[in-house]
Amino acid sequence: MLRNTQESMTGKNKIYPYLISSGLVFITNLLGEFVKRKIEPTNLVMFYLLVVVIVAIRWGQGPAIVASILSVLSFDFFLVPPYLTLGVADLQYIFTFVAFLIVGVVVSTLASKAREQVIQHQTEKLQTALLNSISHDLRTPLASITGSLTALLDNTSGLDDTARRELLETAFEETGRLNRLVGNLLDMSRMEAGALRISRKLCELRDVLGTSLEQLKGKIGSRNIRIDISRDFPEIPMDFSFMMKVFLNLVDNALKYSPADTTIEIKTAIFKDKVKIEIRDQGIGIPEGELKRIFDKFYRVERPSRMMGTGLGLSICKGIIEAHSGEIAARNNSDKGATFIIILPLN
């Protein structure tokens, strides 16, 4: 596929490289005419090989093979006695032809492979940073899982029950992380491909939040979460599952970045045709200059390394909210911590 793209970019016409190759062989013929009395014909073969190599590097295998065949024919026709016929006076030239063809094909194959690699390298360079980041994030939990499990499988290690339990718990926690990462990558790629299937149906915000919090109950523990939704809060057209992802992400972030003894507040407000939902923590806040960039893909604010994340969560939130024709933003509170604000339309 890469090659096709490249070809359609460099050659407007597919015949073009073949014509140039033929031209180059023709020029070599002319050159041969000038020097053929001074140089052994078999040495003239080198000129043709040079052409084949150039063609292979520049235009790939097809034109190079055509150049090889044309070269053999021209060489025979112009430079091998009897001249201007395809007949051959000395049978040893047959070996030259065969050897040339083989060398031509091999050289052109190698050269075009090298060429493809160069093209591929350029294209891949664009994705390398992305892939590095993803594979690092995927390998990190895998490394913990492999490490824990191999330690458990190792009969000679003499682990006590506590240690075994700890290793198992580590492996289990890391599978969760791996699963979340894969889910995030899937959401992200669907979003990029425009294939995020949002199905908006009227939902109660209270239910979406409650179900999200129930899923996070392990992480919430005894943390205080205050929810403020007025009795007359309208039902909002939204995708229950996707909006849960948004709240899971935002509440999880709030839990991660704020001290355990502080409260997380979820506040709501109703406007004429939209609603506002705020998730407010009393944590470390977000550096002022990064309030917008945190929604960028793979962007991560410098944090202590124990704060592991994929750098995808917030950009997925943004994608989901925008798919609902809403808006999401972050700001720092005047006193302490950060607030994420979501605006959703009512119709």
Partner 1 sequence: MTEKLNLRILVVDDEKAIRHFLRVSLSAHGYNVFESATGKEALEKSVSSHPDAIILDLGLPDMEGIEIVRDVRRRSKIPIVILSVKEDASDKISALDAGADDYLTKPFSTGELLARLRAVVRRLLPPEREEVFRIGKLSVDITKRCVTVNGEEVNLSPTEYDILKLLILNPGRVLTHTQILREVWNKSENYEGILHLLRVTISNLRSKIEPNPDRPTYVLTEPGIGYRLRSED
Q: How far is the CB of 248 from partner 1 (least distance, A)?
A: 11
The dihedral built from the CA positions of residue 37, 43, 47 and 52, taken in this order, carries a sign that is positive
Sites for partner 1 among residues 201-220 (CB under 8 A): 201-204, 206-207, 209-211, 213-214, 217
**By the 8 A CB rule, do 330 and 294 touch?**
yes
Q: How far is the CB of 104 from partner 1 (least distance, A)?
A: 48
Q: How far is the CB of 194 from partner 1 (least distance, A)?
A: 17
Q: Which of 244, 275, 277, 317 binds partner 1 (CB under 8 A)?
A: 244
Secondary structure in 3-state letters for 320-343: HHHHCCCEEEEEECCCCCEEEEEE
75/247 with CB nearer partner 1 = 247
Mark the segment that binds partner 1 (CB under 8 A) among 66-74, 238-246, 255-263, 302-310.
238-246
Q: Please tell me whether residue 175 binds partner 1 under the rule CB under 8 A.
A: yes
Residue type, 131: L
Q: Please tell me whether residue 227 binds partner 1 under the rule CB under 8 A.
A: yes
First to last CA, the chain: 44
Mark the segment that binds partner 1 (CB under 8 A) among 65-73, 195-203, 321-329, 330-338.
195-203
218/304 with CB nearer partner 1 = 218
**Residues 6 or more apart in contact with residue 267 via CB below 8 angstroms:** 228, 277, 278, 280
Distance of CA 262 to the CA centre of its chain: 38
Alpha-carbon gap, residue 68 to 197, rounded angstroms: 54
Residue ranges that bind partner 1, judged by CB under 8 A: 172, 175, 179, 183, 199, 201-204, 206-207, 209-211, 213-214, 217, 227, 229, 235, 239-241, 244
